Amino acid sequence: MPPATPTITPVVPEPVSSEGDGARHLANPLREGLRLERIPEPCTMVICGATGDLTGRKLGPALYNLMLGGFLPPEFTVVGFARRPMSDEAFREILRQGIDQFSRNKPVKRSVWDSFSKGIEYHAGEFHEPAAYVELAKKLDRIDRDRGTAGNRLFYLAVPPVLYPEIVKQLEAAGLAATGEERSDGKRGWVRVIVEKPFGSDITSARKLNRELGLALKEDQIYRIDHYLGKETVQNLAVFRFGNGLFEPIWNRRYIDSVQITVAETVGVEGRGEFYDQTGALRDIVQNHALQLMAMFALEPPVEFKASDLRDEKLKVLRAVKPMSASDVADNAIRGQYVSGWVEGAKMHAYRDEPEVNPESQTETFVALKLAIDSWRWAGVPFFLRTGKALPTRVTEIAVQFRRAPLALFARAGTPQIDPNILAIRIQPDEGILLRFGAKVPGQGLQIRSVNMDFRYGSSFAVDSPDAYETLLLDAMIGDASLFTRGDEVERAWEILDPLLRAWGQDRGGPLHFYGAGTWGPPAADELLERDGREWRRL
């Protein structure tokens, strides 16, 4: 028998670290070994812009599912904050309907909802009106007293980004922004603010926004949400690389020939024409999702698997990506826009025929990029990124192409060139890992054919994975910022793309190519790789 350890002794409550790293000390001895080791402290979540679409569609269902799963403490309280006057009851009804419609567990369970809804309130007020915040502060104080939420507050800014600075400024003025020791209201609870993407529209606006938020908040209070990273992906990538001894030794320029990152959507703009026409694929996908994936793929081993270390390493990768000079843009970046075609058996209109889209729009719906990471690990390894709308399949993956075998040992047998090995990390739709290698075709003679070794998460762990918002909201309440983007990362990503934005904004840097909906982008995107004797993976 192992010596029966009189394990945990600290039953006296210990101060919980306010450091935003999720490295919370396991202060509750009963939590040891339980499946839910991560339980947030009691807190109030204030949804600014609570009457918007996001509340009913994503936030309400996410909170309800967290509550149903027992992840939220009983004291947890929601306060909806928006302009429209409304009773608590009416706001609860909005949430309930959203859950009934969009939750992965539905319909709402009467009894669970009854007790959950007691902790839902509504606060009407103008976002630029100081009095609204004073009232809000009073309400939050009362909630702290009545429901025991201990001054912990999570503000979710579900409003257009132009309102972020105003709201944050007002929060500060009302004494609602200070956290921990700095608070003047005698409480020691934490205050965190979640903001949605897009975070700026170029380097200048992103810097400005960071600066304005920074006037009232500290960086570790700001949680920039990128719902893409809320998928299991990030942890999986890290586990794949650092939880296995097999792959890390070959994860460098000696063995890897090139890397392809694909974020492909089959849909068009889906009624978001106005938004998309001002945004484009570069801002919508590349700046956040694609570059984050690349950073997660390429980063050096962090000292610890915690937010600050991870984000330091991601930033290092982004810093090593040299922004293109204006003259390089045409050589290394391809932009495209779809014209009408057939996707998944259905006719799709040209982008310019979409409602709310400028009929002469120059907005790109497809981007292919060749980037280089100038680090010891990656020097000379091209990273190819492509993303687009109205492509043939919906797929997100990172594919590593390894160097070919040094000698064509089997050349005489009629197999002049063996295909290179490929390791594909699929993120969407079904997460998995695929390794392609050459094998001898059985029989006389030596024929070599590529075969796949395929692993699917879905086949090995068929569990109902949580919605990205559930993961992210819970992380923010716990104070684990690993899956959120830090200010300097955001700025650096904009810096990388700045030359492209400038060039394309002035219609330089290569023409806007057109591609038929349902194809893999313009031929120019293929040429980008063919120049080096490579080709895009067929997906």
CB of 431 to another protein, least distance (A): 9
d(CA 494, CA 273): 23
CB of 38 to another protein, least distance (A): 10
Continuous segment of H or E residues that includes residue 153: strand 153-157
User: Among residues 84 and 449, whose Cβ is nearest to another protein?
Assistant: 449
| Span from 299-307, 322-330, 382-390, 448-456 in contact with another protein (CB under 8 A) | 448-456
Q: Does 68 engage in binding with another protein (CB under 8 A)? A: yes
User: Among residues 244 and 325, whose Cβ is nearest to another protein?
Assistant: 244
Question: Residues 93-132 vs another protein: string with x where CB under 8 A?
Answer: ----------------x-xx-xxx-x--------------
User: Among residues 152 and 485, whose Cβ is nearest to another protein?
Assistant: 152
CB of 23 to another protein, least distance (A): 17
CA atoms within 13 A on the CB side of 139: 23
Q: Does 4 engage in binding with another protein (CB under 8 A)? A: yes
Give the tokens for residue 301.
């081993």
| Cα 217–Cα 143–Cα 466 angle in degrees, nearest 5 | 70
d(CA 51, CA 127): 13
User: Among residues 9 and 325, whose Cβ is nearest to another protein?
Assistant: 9
Cβ atoms of 119 and 78 closer than 8 Å: yes
Cβ atoms of 112 and 67 closer than 8 Å: yes
Distances in whole angstroms, Cα of residue 451 to Cα of each of 30, 289, 534: 49, 30, 19
45, 46, 55, 75: residue in contact with another protein (rule CB under 8 A) = 75
d(CA 59, CA 157): 11
User: Among residues 144 and 196, whose Cβ is nearest to another protein?
Assistant: 144
CB of 465 to another protein, least distance (A): 10
Number of shown-chain residues binding another protein (CB under 8 A): 62
| Span from 1-9, 164-172, 338-346, 356-364 in contact with another protein (CB under 8 A) | 1-9
301, 380, 458, 505: residue in contact with another protein (rule CB under 8 A) = 458
Q: Does 418 engage in binding with another protein (CB under 8 A)? A: no
Among 85, 78, 84, 82, which Cα is nearest to 59's?
78
31, 106, 128, 208: residue in contact with another protein (rule CB under 8 A) = 31
DSSP string covering 243-280, please? S-TTTGGG-STTTEEEEEEEEE-----TT-HHHHHHHH
Helix 307-320, helix 487-505: angle, nearest 10: 30
Q: How many CB atoms lie within 10 A of CB 535?
A: 11
Q: Does 150 engage in binding with another protein (CB under 8 A)? A: yes
148, 243, 355, 505: residue in contact with another protein (rule CB under 8 A) = 148
Rg (CA), the chain: 25
Cβ atoms of 404 and 417 closer than 8 Å: yes
Q: Write the CB contacts of 515 (distance below 8 Å, at least 6 apart in sequence).
A: 336, 337, 338, 339, 366, 388, 521, 522
Q: Does 456 engage in binding with another protein (CB under 8 A)? A: yes
User: Among residues 115 and 327, whose Cβ is nearest to another protein?
Assistant: 115
97, 101, 417, 450: residue in contact with another protein (rule CB under 8 A) = 450
380, 414, 429, 505: residue in contact with another protein (rule CB under 8 A) = 429
d(CA 483, CA 469): 11
Distances in whole angstroms, Cα of residue 340 to Cα of each of 62, 337, 352, 461, 539: 37, 10, 9, 40, 21
Q: Does 372 engage in binding with another protein (CB under 8 A)? A: no
Continuous segment of H or E residues that includes residue 338: strand 333-339
3, 85, 245, 359: residue in contact with another protein (rule CB under 8 A) = 3
d(CA 230, CA 469): 7
Q: Does 506 engage in binding with another protein (CB under 8 A)? A: no
Catalytic residue among 123, 128, 289, 513: 289
User: Among residues 41 and 135, whose Cβ is nearest to another protein?
Assistant: 41
Considering only residues 269-308, where is the footprint of another protein by CB under 8 A? Answer: none
Told to judge if 128 belongs to the known catalytic residues of this protein, a careful annotator would answer no
Considering only residues 38-57, where is the footprint of another protein by CB under 8 A? Answer: 39, 41-42
d(CA 120, CA 114): 10
User: Among residues 2 and 85, whose Cβ is nearest to another protein?
Assistant: 2
User: Among residues 30 and 407, whose Cβ is nearest to another protein?
Assistant: 30
CB of 148 to another protein, least distance (A): 6
Q: Does 461 engage in binding with another protein (CB under 8 A)? A: yes
| Span from 28-36, 54-62, 265-273, 356-364 in contact with another protein (CB under 8 A) | 28-36
User: 3-state DSSP call for residue 46?
Assistant: strand
Q: Does 7 engage in binding with another protein (CB under 8 A)? A: yes
User: 3-state DSSP call for residue 340?
Assistant: coil
Q: How many CB atoms lie within 10 A of CB 110?
A: 7
Residues that bind another protein (CB under 8 A): 1-9, 11-13, 16, 27-36, 39, 41-42, 68, 70, 73-75, 109, 111-112, 114-116, 118, 147-148, 150, 429-430, 434, 436, 441-442, 449-456, 458-464
Q: Active-site residues: which are they?
A: 289
